[in-house]
Chain A
């Protein structure tokens, strides 16, 4: 199993565009690692630089402590699955899967045997004689995975492995991919723009923007405590409530009401941005006794999300949204009070947009 270590990695394109900006990153052996970000954030460039398809402008890439920064792609012992799969249209499935072995000079019987074995492992045994054009999108994706698996690399690199599949197939392929990675235990880096995919698949996620890593952490960390307002906006299927607020000692004035401020984020008073996920906001149909002065307003929009409902509340000139179970849905126009779940309220600096850490009063 291979550890990846990137230090000070920078990539500047000919036109002067900086795609990667002094990036430091370590991917642990056997980890399933996601590079997540909007298009143009540098995530694909980073993957291609790891594969050797792009030359780093400066910095180093180490695979298992071996410096591969200037090594040709074919000598890095990696396998890459492309977004469009790049299955050779003039070769059959079995020829496609065994092509990497052919390049490595293995004898034909060995290649075919391995290709068929891997094909079986991935449920492709009935398709080996077909051409890629005769396969469905999901089958093509499996053939591309099989081709990567067949060369037993030290490292998998996947570029948007699921984005060419339709929504239903994507869920299925997601489970398949996760199981496959667990079984093989090979260090895997994949690129995605879909936060749900990253949360579902990855052991750890690097959220990227403008060639830099904005946050590095487990899916739970990234979801629960986004490191800045960019990440907060990007992660989560319903956008986080981000509203102007004011800290006054241990009170946080927000949306015409008051929340208890997280401990020790700001000394004294300051203007900040309060952040709370709709999933972590509670609705009350009467003023809660333990939280006097909680923000209150009227229910304006209800959006059915299936088992839950997204409720938009107009309070104190702000719109706050909350997710409630289907049986706790308030009536439109009714008056409600809002309180955060304990420990879920986040406070961001207004200038830098960064999360202000909680501080133990003792520390």
Chain B
């Protein structure tokens, strides 16, 4: 073996070694970055899990002195539980309106060729993204406080009903859209078949359509509930009375009060308030799959 050839071989060996070293370094770097990002996402959430079970929680995350006393305290708070009940009333009320309105509209728009349907759908889609809570804050506040209140107190400020209507109006276009997509995916031959057998339109709706679109309705209901449950801006503007405020608004009065906020109370309340959302997310993702599932066309 000539010395020249042996150096060449050594070079190749060295290059290969360098290559594996670089690959290893990249791998380590990749896992380090992944860990860092996970920590970034986990860190703020951790407090929500530790503080409620801590006898004396501080701002920083610490291993709790385990206790369930905080949950007892929250039960005796005059605002905590009623505000969760308010959240529930708003969420369920809105979901009822949204599901009923969207089901009727989506079904008719999917199955019956109404003149101007395409333009209507386009405008709905546009409206739902353009008229946000932020952009419509001023006119909505005025409508409810000036016009609604003048007609009847139920339509004015400090009324769950008016918040429900405002939220329904905001969620309906998107709900109609999602549900129409769902109805479009069901072949019309089911209804046609029932029709040829002599079923009346009402009968077709009752026997065939409602059972078929129930999964879609459930999805829209959960989606509406989660949206209303977490919404802050609309009830913040329209509900001033602490007895009527939902958890989203009340929790803020707990931590912006002058002086030291009661961290134990806040943490426990936050956890109670968050759990239903997480539960519903798990329900939806388990039952229907949370991902896009090919919903996006390439």
Binding site for B on A (CB under 8 A): 14, 51-53, 73-76, 78-80, 82-84, 86, 88-90, 99-100, 103-104, 151
By the criterion CB–CB under 8 Å, are B193 and A80 in contact? Answer: yes
Q: For the complex, what is the distance from the CA of A90 to the CA of B192, rounded to whole Å?
A: 16
Given contact pairs A14-B113, A103-B203, A86 touches B195 in the complex (Cβ within 8 A) = no
B69 to chain A, nearest CB (A): 49
- Chain B: CB-nearest residue to A80: B196
- Chain A: CB-nearest residue to B198: A74
Q: For the complex, what is the distance from the CA of A62 to the CA of B199, rounded to whole Å?
A: 22
By the criterion CB–CB under 8 Å, are A103 and B194 in contact? Answer: yes
Number of A-B contacts (CB under 8 A): 58
- B: contact size bracket: 10 to 19
- Among candidates A14, A90, A103, residue contacting B198 with C-beta atoms closer than 8 Å: A103
Q: For the complex, what is the distance from the CA of A74 to the CA of B193, rounded to whole Å?
A: 10
Give per-residue flags for B147-178: 1 if the beta carbon is below 8 A from chain A beta carbons, else 0: 00000000000000000000000000000000
By the criterion CB–CB under 8 Å, are A90 and B197 in contact? Answer: no
- Chain B: CB-nearest residue to A52: B196
By the criterion CB–CB under 8 Å, are B196 and A74 in contact? Answer: yes
B212 to chain A, nearest CB (A): 7
- Among candidates B193, B194, B195, B212, residue contacting A90 with C-beta atoms closer than 8 Å: B212
B288 at the interface (CB under 8 A from A): no
A12 to chain B, nearest CB (A): 15
- Chain A: CB-nearest residue to B210: A90
Given contact pairs A88-B208, A89-B212, A78 touches B196 in the complex (Cβ within 8 A) = yes
Given contact pairs A14-B113, A90-B211, A90-B212, A79 touches B196 in the complex (Cβ within 8 A) = yes
Across-interface contacts of A88 in B (CB, < 8 A):
190, 194, 207-208, 211-212
By the criterion CB–CB under 8 Å, are A99 and B194 in contact? Answer: yes
Q: For the complex, what is the distance from the CA of A78 to the CA of B192, rounded to whole Å?
A: 13
By the criterion CB–CB under 8 Å, are A82 and B193 in contact? Answer: yes
By the criterion CB–CB under 8 Å, are B197 and A53 in contact? Answer: no
B118 to chain A, nearest CB (A): 13
Across-interface contacts of B212 in A (CB, < 8 A):
88-90
Q: For the complex, what is the distance from the CA of A89 to the CA of B208, rounded to whole Å?
A: 9
A114 to chain B, nearest CB (A): 14
Q: For the complex, what is the distance from the CA of A153 to the CA of B105, rounded to whole Å?
A: 35
A292 to chain B, nearest CB (A): 61
Q: For the complex, what is the distance from the CA of A131 to the CA of B161, rounded to whole Å?
A: 43
- Among candidates A83, A90, A99, A104, residue contacting B189 with C-beta atoms closer than 8 Å: A83
Across-interface contacts of A76 in B (CB, < 8 A):
196
Q: For the complex, what is the distance from the CA of A100 to the CA of B192, rounded to whole Å?
A: 12
Some 12 contacts from A to B, beta carbons below 8 A apart, are: A74-B199, A74-B200, A79-B197, A82-B189, A83-B189, A84-B189, A86-B189, A88-B190, A88-B207, A90-B212, A100-B198, A104-B197
Q: For the complex, what is the distance from the CA of A51 to the CA of B203, rounded to whole Å?
A: 19
Q: For the complex, what is the distance from the CA of A109 to the CA of B293, rounded to whole Å?
A: 44
A111 to chain B, nearest CB (A): 12
Q: For the complex, what is the distance from the CA of A57 to the CA of B74, rounded to whole Å?
A: 70
B116 at the interface (CB under 8 A from A): no
B187 at the interface (CB under 8 A from A): yes
By the criterion CB–CB under 8 Å, are B187 and A86 in contact? Answer: yes
Across-interface contacts of A53 in B (CB, < 8 A):
192, 195-196
Across-interface contacts of B189 in A (CB, < 8 A):
82-84, 86
B211 to chain A, nearest CB (A): 4
